[in-house]
Amino acid sequence: MTVADDELAAWLRLLETPGIGRQRARRLLLAFGGPREIFEASPAAWREVLDGHKVSEALAQAPEGHDTLVARTAQWLQQPGCHLLVLGDPQYPAAWMELTDPPLVLHARGRLELLGIGALAVVGSRHPTPQGADNAFQFSAALSQAGMVVVSGLAQGIDGAAHEGALSGPSGTIAIVGTGLDRVYPRQHHALAGRIATEGLIVSEHVLGTPPLSPHFPQRNRLVAGLGRGTLVVEAALQSGSLITARLAMESNREVFAIPGSIHSPQVKGCHQLIKSGAKLVETTQDILEELHWGTSTPVSAGQKPTGSSTAAVQARLDDTPEDPLLEAMGWTPVTLDALQARTGLPTSELNHRLLELELDSQVVRLPGPLFRRQACA
């Protein structure tokens, strides 16, 4: 959207005025018709609309740093692919208009047309098992290949793997973030965010310069859940924030899907809880596409072998974890020696030696096949 300087200034002032918030801002917009008209009205008119609330006094003067923010935003909008959508704009996502507290202003960078394509949210743990990360990548790649946009929150773990997988297909991905679009959080996703801004779309309801504050991420989750036709939870513990996203999806009458896993793995207990609560158990992408009545696709199962790019991403995550990398690579499902070697890159002799150590330590059991499985704690 192209906005005049005075209109941009009025929207940002309304957005940043302390104590106003989205609900009071909508009341003011309904009463006066637009942000410029709000600030042209009298303090008495503001008090009447806001039932005499003292917060109306804050409207009398622009917030600190307002002029700097307006100039910074105007300059940002001159960059290729940068957009500003306001409530009521024709390109504003209709799905978010249905929310009880839709964003007033959206900053977006990338392919704005993706907001009008059928989407599915893919979410999960920030610290997934290698199998969980692979599932997120493969399912997202297949959904993108089937013509569906993958929506996620650019967080570590499942979110990042989902974005990477979706970018490998033609439909791409939308990242909804909890910071200003001039910042990237987490920092290790800087390159991924750059790819999404070019090949997909990044969206934020926060003004430029907004840091990653804790309250912003639950707010972001409502947008992740509200944009897609459903939400797929790949891997989640019982206390995972992904369950909040799933609950928000259910409350918005969206479909919720969950990938099951080993009963011994704490990383999938949240998924199992969702399935008990009515989420659809999925083993392939076809389960999702059929439930949503969405075209056809080559099914991708939860156990499909990862691609090279997915394996590299998994290895990077293993390097950061304090847990034994081999146990992390093993996950909680039986795995072959060849698969473990592909996941870890360890020489066969070293891998066999480590497996024997873990077996003697009762952390791994050897199964016929030969297969190896992580031993659950008592």
Q: What is the DSSP pairing of strand 173-176 with strand 82-86?
A: unpaired
pLDDT at residue 329 is higher than 70: yes
What CATH number does the domain containing 354 carry?
A: 1.10.10.10
**Distance of alpha carbon 234 from alpha carbon 56, whole angstroms:** 45
- Does an H or E element contain 204, and which? strand 201-204
344 and 249 in a common domain: no
> Is 237 part of a structural domain of the chain?
yes
Q: Per-residue pLDDT tens for 73-106?
A: 999 999 999 999 998 888 999 899 888 889 999 9
pLDDT at residue 352 is higher than 50: yes
Q: Per-residue pLDDT tens for 243-294?
A: 999 999 988 889 999 999 988 888 899 999 999 999 999 999 999 999 999 8
* Percentage of residues in the chain having pLDDT higher than 90: 63
What CATH number does the domain containing 253 carry?
A: 3.40.50.450
Question: Could you say which of 32, 56, 78 is where a domain stops?
Answer: 78
Question: What's the helix, strand, coil split of the chain in %, to 5?
Answer: 50, 15, 40
**Distance of alpha carbon 304 from alpha carbon 99, whole angstroms:** 36
> Is 297 part of a structural domain of the chain?
no
> Is 118 part of a structural domain of the chain?
yes
> Is 150 part of a structural domain of the chain?
yes
> Is 298 part of a structural domain of the chain?
no
Neighbours of 317 (CB within 10 A): 21
> Is 276 part of a structural domain of the chain?
yes
Q: Per-residue pLDDT tens for 17-52?
A: 999 988 899 999 989 999 999 999 999 999 999 987
Q: For residue 27, with 0-12 CB atoms within 10 Å meaning exposed, 13-18 middle and 19 or more buried, which class applies?
A: middle
The pLDDT of residue 120: 98
pLDDT at residue 347 is higher than 70: yes
Number of domains in the chain: 3
Q: Taking a C-beta distance cutoff of 8 angstroms, is the pair 146, 289 a contact?
A: yes
**Distance of alpha carbon 247 from alpha carbon 297, whole angstroms:** 27
Q: Name the residue with tokens 């303090």.
A: 43
Whole-Å CA distances, 11 to 16, 32, 89, 189, 332: 9, 13, 13, 30, 50
Alpha helix ranges (H) inside 185-241: 190-199, 216-227
> Is 245 part of a structural domain of the chain?
yes
45 and 179 in a common domain: no
Q: Per-residue pLDDT tens for 196-252?
A: 999 999 999 999 999 999 999 989 999 999 998 999 999 999 988 899 999 999 888
pLDDT at residue 311 is higher than 50: no
56 and 202 in a common domain: no
DSSP-derived secondary structure letter, 113: G
The pLDDT of residue 10: 95
326 and 285 in a common domain: no
Domain that holds residue 332: 322-374
The pLDDT of residue 163: 98
The pLDDT of residue 110: 97
> Is 89 part of a structural domain of the chain?
no
The pLDDT of residue 350: 87
Question: Could you say which of 78, 104, 136 is where a domain stops?
Answer: 78
128 and 54 in a common domain: no
The pLDDT of residue 307: 44
